[in-house]
């Protein structure tokens, strides 16, 4: 069964973060620039929260707040659900589904090692199922 460490090996360990005092507008620009839907909110190496497009939509846009004047710390999701390198893809999928989150920071020994998204998890499950189907077809044909 695949683990988080296997996902990070294939997708990379890039960490996109923003400071808690950054404006929501700056965070949105960074997400658009990187083509991602969330940023970690970090003070140095300390993980404080996650800010996502969903946080913006629900806590800024719908409330008529100004994204240029609102600091990330006021809308970030905290505390953060995290996973470890040894967690299984299935356990992470269950956590995302049950908690209704889309991004999971990977933390090991108190350090952020990467981030996985629900998209990464779905892709891994589809890839695993395709491989299993192929093996079963070879078995049946052979």
Comparing C-alpha atoms, which of 54, 63, 70, 60 is closest to residue 20? 70
pLDDT at site 65: 86
Residue whose structure tokens are 């970690």: 40
Distance CA(130)–CA(109), nearest Å, equals: 34
pLDDT in tens, 39-83: 999 999 999 999 999 999 999 988 888 889 999 999 999 999 999
Q: Which domains does the chain have, with CATH numbers?
A: 4-141 (3.10.580.10)
Strand partners, 117: 103
SS3 77: strand
- pTM for the whole thing? 0.89
Note the helical H segments in 1-117. 4-11, 24-34, 53-59, 89-99
């Amino acid at each position: 069964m695949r683990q988080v460490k296997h996902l990070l090996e294939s997708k990379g360990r890039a960490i996109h973060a923003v400071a808690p005092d950054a404006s929501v507008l700056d965070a949105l620009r960074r997400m658009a620039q990187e083509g991602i839907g969330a940023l970690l909110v970090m003070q140095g190496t300390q993980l404080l929260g996650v800010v996502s497009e969903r946080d913006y939509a629900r806590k800024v846009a719908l409330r008529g707040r100004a994204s240029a004047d609102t600091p990330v710390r006021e809308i970030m999701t905290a505390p953060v659900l995290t996973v470890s390198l040894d967690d299984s893809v299935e356990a992470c999928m269950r956590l995302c589904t049950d908690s209704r989150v889309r991004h999971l920071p990977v933390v090991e020994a108190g350090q952020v090692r990467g981030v996985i998204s629900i998209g990464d998890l779905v892709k891994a499950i589809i890839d695993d199922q395709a491989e299993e189907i192929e093996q079963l077809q070879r078995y049946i044909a052979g």
